[in-house]
Structure 1
Amino acid sequence: MLVEIKPAKIGLEAISSEELKIQNLLQDFPDSPSVNCGDRYGLERGNDGSVAAWQIISKTQEDIATELAAEGLRFLSFDEWEYACGAGSTTLFHWGDFSPSDFYPTKNLADWKLHLQPNLFGLHIAQNPYDCEIISDTHTVPGPDGGCSICGGMGSFLSWLPLATAYWQPDVLEWLDEGISGNFMGRVIPLP
């Protein structure tokens, strides 16, 4: 199989930055590099002054699976995601067996960013505990937990644990039932 190197965000549709709602966001937030208006639309400013804008289209896992199949693609299975995340290694995380004990994975520190680097397969996977990654399994979500361990105040080590290769949660899809838009997926091209 071939796996997408950078996971795709589900349900984003590009729109013109000239639309009134985007122009209003640009005026209301003149210094923000990115702005999300709930689960409806948002924008991101490039370093060159460009503006990328989008609207969020509500999608279910079944919707996406049907769209992928029409293109000859599919989601990763649970076992495939785990193998792809660990890049074939047996370490706790895709970067090794250690994590910092004095800060959260969302803190930007210049001296420690191993979790933000691609793994040994070159995949950008399990890098942010807030970014859920959707797979073919409808009962589990591997990897990131939507930020629950950080917002739940579980401490530094447990905030890193959702980035572990074999981490999964059986109940995350319960609160994603309304739609999986805004989450990530790594598309797969199956090979014979």
Structure 2
Amino acid sequence: MEALSRDMWQGLNAQDKEAWMRKLVRQLPEGMVYEGLETFERFGQRIETGVFRHEEERFVFVPGDRITLGWDRWQRGMNEETSADMHETVSEYGVEDVDSFLASQMSPVREVTIAPMLVECELISLGWIEVSEEEAFAQEDPDFPAALEQFKPSDIREYELHQQFRLISQSEDEVRILWFNEGIELEDVVREEAAAGFGLLTEDEWEYIYGGGCRTLFPWGDSFDYTMRLKHFGIPEGVDEIVDASLEPDSSRIKEKDDHSYDLEMPNFFGIKFAGDPYKYELTLDSDGDVMPKGGDGGSLICGGTGPLVGFLPAAAVYYRDVNASELDWEDLMDSMYYRRVVRLTERAL
């Protein structure tokens, strides 16, 4: 197992890494295929690691480590631009001590041991499942037929009727249909994934794969990067604005094209993609097995007009915790909840 710790793994040559990855395949869920080594680099961290595929989904090998997680003080401190922005924004809400404010929003500092694992690169929607047009009509939703009829000839990229159905334009003749999966419970997800050989991330594991054990506020440092292309703050070049007055704006959300053109959605140094959107949560479990949403706050801060720095704090800060998440109903969380599968590797499995 020492070879699968991060320090030792980084010191192996490509041939030895290949041997370890091929050895792992015998112990992985049925259908998991090893595809080869790939190098990922971002935010000053770099790793050459194994890439696997299960059906259509990619997984990467993440070596284990003994690291410090959580945040309670600066390592380097904000630069002048970030500091001025932070103080000006939070002062409007009566916050005078920025450091205490930030520390109260973060997970506590602790030493943890992370086991080596395979981690799914993309996210899976918890509350939405893809259905065929025939399956959608079988739901007998009174709003669906008219919405689909209007959507098909329109220029809209995506249309959603809140917690009912979502339409996504794939091409001129193809529409993806997602249906809200209101009946699903967390216990069902855990049980079904476990039966297939997968687990769900813990909060410790999520913070590790997102920040790599960094001691700074963001994965790249303590200061905000104002050059990033961020969702909800302008439309980047190449992404068309979506408008259609024929669909009811009061009962729908019309969204920007999702083409991974935003910086926080791009693969990180482990080759893993995150939502990069404060309106979305990623499901993790705390030490007691309870839900601990990460990577967002349901849009609470951004809806308050806080600007990109504070508005994106839930999505960009490595150790952010939404202190209000426990007050939300499970159904409210499901609408914006995503998860990814992991395969934890143990000495016994090897």
Counterpart AA for 1:165 = V
Alignment CA distance shift 1:74-1:170 (3 Å): farther
Q: Report the CA distance between 1:139 and its aligned residue.
A: 5.0
**Greater relative CO (CA pairs within 8 A, separation 6+):** 1
Q: Report the CA distance between 1:161 and its aligned residue.
A: 0.7
The 2-side partners of 1:125 and 1:102 are apart by: 15
- Name the counterpart of 2:329: 176
Counterpart AA for 2:342 = V
Q: CA RMSD in A?
A: 2.7
Q: Identify unmatched segments of 5+ residues in structure 1.
A: none
- What is the DSSP-based 3-state SS (H/G/I as helix, E as strand, rest coil) of the residue aligned with 2:160? strand
Q: 2:236 aligns with which of 109, 114, 124?
A: 109
Alignment CA distance shift 1:24-1:94 (3 Å): farther
Tell me the alpha carbon deviations over residues 105-125 of structure 1, each in whole angstroms, 9 at most, x when there is no partner.
422334x94323111111111
Q: Identify unmatched segments of 5+ residues in structure 2.
A: 1-116, 238-260
The 2-side partners of 1:33 and 1:126 are apart by: 19
Tell me the alpha carbon deviations over residues 3-26 of structure 1, each in whole angstroms, 9 at most, x when there is no partner.
110111113222222544654223
Give 1:21-36 correspondences, 5 Å limit: 22-29=144-151, 30-36=154-160
Identity percentage of aligned residues: 31
Q: Answer yes or no: is 1:38 the counterpart of 2:162.
A: yes
Q: Figure out how many residues of one structure are paired with residues of the other and give that number.
A: 192
Give 1:1-192 correspondences, 5 Å limit: 1-18=117-134, 19-20=136-137, 22-29=144-151, 30-47=154-171, 49-58=173-182, 59-97=184-222, 98-100=224-226, 105-107=231-233, 108-110=235-237, 113-137=262-286, 138=290, 140-163=292-315, 164-178=317-331, 180-182=333-335, 183-192=337-346
Structure having the larger proportion of residues in strand: 2
Tell me the alpha carbon deviations over residues 154-186 of structure 1, each in whole angstroms, 9 at most, x when there is no partner.
333211211211111133143132364331011
Which structure: larger Rg?
Answer: 2
Q: Report the CA distance between 1:135 and its aligned residue.
A: 0.7
Contact 2:130–2:179 (CA under 8 A) maintained in structure 1: yes
